[in-house]
Amino acid sequence: MTAPLSTLTLPSGDVELRRAELADLPAIVGLLANDPLGSSRETEVEEADLQPYLDAFRAVDDDPAQLLVVVSAEHDVVGTMQLSFIPGLARGGALRAQIEGVRVDEPYRSQGLGGAMFEWAIAEAQRRGCALVQLTTDKARTDAHRFYERLGFIASHEGLKLELRPSR
C-alpha cells in the first residue's frame, strides 16, 4: 500500500487519500460504472474486459503529468479522481490542473468527502504552481454545479465534446 498523500477527516471517521495502485483498478471501474451517467458509458466489467482499463491505468500511472488518486476507508475504495497537469502558453504561460473522473461511493455522499477531496486537489494544484483548476461537468448533474460553485468555481465556459468512432 502506498503512503497516503493526505488524511481526510469526516464525521464518520478518518479516510486516506493516496495514489491509486493497480490493485485498486476494479474498485475504481466499479465507482465509474455505479453512476447515473456512467452506467451508460461503462459496461459491466467482467474480468476479461479489464484489459482496456489496465492499459489506461498504465498510461496514467507512467505519466508524471497524471495523478490518479483513491480515497480508502478501512480497506474499501470509496472515492476516486484524476488530476492532469497541463502546460500551455495561454494566460501568461500558466500550468493548469484539470480534474476528471470524480466519483464518491454512495454511502459516502453528502458527508463532506467530495469537498475534502477537492480541497486537497486545489491545494495540490497550488503546490505544483498551477494558475488555474478546471473541470467540466455534465449539464445533467445540477447538484454538482452547486457543489463546484460553492468551492469557488465559475461556470464561465461551455464544455464541448465530440465522440469519435473507433477507426480500428
Residues 8, 17, 28, 78: which binds its own copies (CB under 8 A)? Answer: 28
| Three-state SS sequence of 67-126 | EEEEEEECCEEEEEEEEEEECCCHHHHCCEEEEEEEEECHHHCCCCHHHHHHHHHHHHHH
Nearer to its own copies, 110 or 139 (CB): 139
The least CB distance from residue 14 to its own copies, in Å, is: 26
- Phi/psi at 59 (5° precision): -65, -40
Q: For residue 101, what are the CA distances in angstroms to 38, 94, 98, 118?
A: 10, 23, 10, 12
Nearer to its own copies, 75 or 161 (CB): 161
Place of cell 476494479: 26
Using CB under 8 A as the binding rule, whether residue 36 contacts its own copies is answered as no
Question: Order of strands across the sheet with 66-73?
Answer: 6-10, 13-19, 66-73, 76-86, 96-104
Q: Which of residues 82-141 bind its own copies (CB under 8 A)?
A: 82, 84, 86-95, 98, 100-101, 122, 125-127, 129-139
- Phi/psi at 31 (5° precision): -65, -40
Nearer to its own copies, 11 or 40 (CB): 40
Q: How many residues bind its own copies (CB under 8 A)?
A: 70
Q: From 2-10, 55-63, 70-78, 109-117, give the range in contact with its own copies by CB under 8 A.
A: 55-63
Q: Contact residues for its own copies (CB under 8 A)?
A: 25, 28-29, 32, 38, 41-43, 52-57, 59-60, 63, 65-66, 68, 82, 84, 86-95, 98, 100-101, 122, 125-127, 129-139, 145, 148-149, 151-164, 166-168
